[in-house]
Structure 1
Amino acid sequence: MSILQHTTFYTSVNRLHDLPSHAGIEVAFAGRSNAGKSSAINTLTNRGRLAFVSKSPGRTQLINFFQLGDDRFLVDLPGYGYAKVPFAIRRHWQDLLSTYLQTRKTLFGLVLIMDVRHPLKPLDIQMLDWFAPTGKSVHILLTKADKLSRQQANNTLREVRAYLLNSYPQCSVQLFSSLSAKGIDETMIVLNNWFGISSASENKTSETK
């Protein structure tokens, strides 16, 4: 059983000074509005409503912390790139996201969500530019892979991977679909490594339940 299946809500913050203090590990999820971030989190945690899936992109305005136990946290960052959000709110999100990504010492890695049909948009590149100087790992999920044929999805994956190799070598990338559950195992391997969880310890935890 995955440790993510024990994920529980911890807190929400809208200001940097309200970020929780702890000595553990955080893994953040970020992505453009309507790219499938909340659906990916819900699929990975096997919790249908853990992350709120809004019909109005840009509605999630808070940094949401979810606790996995033992000072491990999954952090759901506000979606970005939704034009109808007022400028003042967009500016606040930009400052909040950039500062969090660049300065948060407990942040171990970033899972960046991109719609496979529209990858590497300017704001996605901006997110990578904010985070790259930290030297920390980035794993990209090309979501909604079920919307393309296998050949189309694989072609996009190769193109994105080639771009990242030249520009952001600390990034890894994969296909993902919340609808078909494609890519869950591959993503969990990455997350387990980041959270310092071995397969043996995870199996042992499952056996004791």
Structure 2
Amino acid sequence: MKINQAEIVMSAAREAQFPQAPFPEIALSGRSNVGKSSFINKVLTRKNLARTSQKPGKTQTLNFYLINNRFHFVDVPGYGYAKVSKKEREAWGKLLEHYFQTREQLRGVVQLVDSRHEPTKDDVAMYNWFKHHEIPVIIIGTKADKIPKGKWQKHKKQINETLGVINSDTVILFSAETGLGKDDAWKAMTGLLFSSQPEPKTDNE
């Protein structure tokens, strides 16, 4: 996909700040420091649109990026970061749960995991939560350039088996350094963004 326009339009700390535009959305979820910002910058061909940091847990809001004036990327707070206070984690959890369960514009989630290692318990719990709520997921295995090419399929299989990935979901190995998996990621994301529109969600679902 050719990116003509990409900008952050809102950093939301509460529901009232969510953009009201009807654009379809893809949320990006992952463990802190897994490479969400690098993924965003690479697929959007922007160097510093999403700020990368060596300090995990920096994203403390839902950051809405408007792309080509057609859809949103929504970067959500990373999970599994122990140094964030219990009170902060609970507040994020309530906000995220509300977003994922009620946001009508949401078409699916990109869940990023570190392809070099077996997915963590937090990764598994998050994937299972998305599946419980019937949210489509694209799994992106980051930092694949750190793995020898001959072992890519082994690591991809490990992600599939550990998460228990269902057939309708996709696992893609990705590198923000080399661009590996970028085209496949766009194909999967546009498939969710511009496929038939889902039924509106209700608070009871």
Q: What TM-score comes out, normalization by structure 1 length?
A: 0.85
Give 1:6 shift: 1.8
- Alignment length, in residue pairs? 195
C-alpha deviation, 1:194, in angstroms = 2.2
Structure 2 partner of 1:202: none
1:76 maps to 75
Q: Give yes or no for the alignment of 1:172 onto 2:180.
A: no
- Aligned residue for 2:74, secondary structure, equals strand
Give the superposition deviation at 1:39. 0.3
Matched, 1:65 2:56: no
Return the offset for 1:3.
4.3
Change (3 A) 1:163 1:15: same
Cα gap change, 1:16 to 1:125, in 2 (>3 Å): farther
SS of equivalent to 2:157: helix
Q: Match of 2:113?
A: 114
Aligned partner of residue 139 in structure 1, secondary structure: strand
In the TM superposition, what are the counterparts of 1:113-132 in structure 2 within 5 Å?
113-132=112-131
Distance 2:60 2:140 in 1: 22
Unaligned ranges ≥5, structure 2: 196-205
Q: 1:31 — aligned with what?
A: 30
- Give me the whole-angstrom Cα distance separating, in 2, the residues matched to 1:132 and 1:102: 12
Q: Where in structure 1 do 4 or more consecutive aligned residues deviate above 3 Å?
A: 166-170
Instruction: Provide the aligned C-alpha RMSD in A.
Output: 1.9
Give deviations 1:36-64, integer Å, cap 9, x for gaps: 11100100001111111012110110100
Q: Name the SS for the 1:178 alignment partner.
A: coil
Unaligned stretches of 5+ residues in structure 1: 198-209
The structure richer in helix per residue is 1
Q: Which moved more, 1:44-53 or 1:61-70?
A: 61-70
Q: Are the aligned partners of 1:116 and 1:142 in contact in 2 as well (CA < 8 Å)?
A: yes
Matching of residues 1-209 of structure 1 within 5 Å: 2-164=1-163, 166=164, 168-196=166-194
Q: CA separation of 1:142/1:89 partners in 2, compared to 1, >3 Å: closer, same or farther?
A: same
- Cα distance change on mapping 1:103 and 1:170 into 2, 3 Å: farther
Q: How big is each residue's C-alpha offset from its partner over 1:126-154, in whole Å with a ceiling of 9 and x where there is no partner?
A: 22222213323210100000111123332
* 2:201 equivalent in structure 1: none
Task: Report the Cα distance in structure 1 between the residues aligned to 2:60 and 2:93, rounded to whole angstroms.
Answer: 11
Q: Distance in 2 between matches of 1:87 and 1:136?
A: 26
Measured at CA, do residues 148 and 192 of structure 1 come closer, stay the same or move farther in structure 2, by a change above 3 Å? same
Q: TM-score by structure 2 length?
A: 0.87
Q: Percent identity?
A: 34
- Deviation, 1:71, is 4.3
Q: Which amino acid aligns with 1:91?
A: E
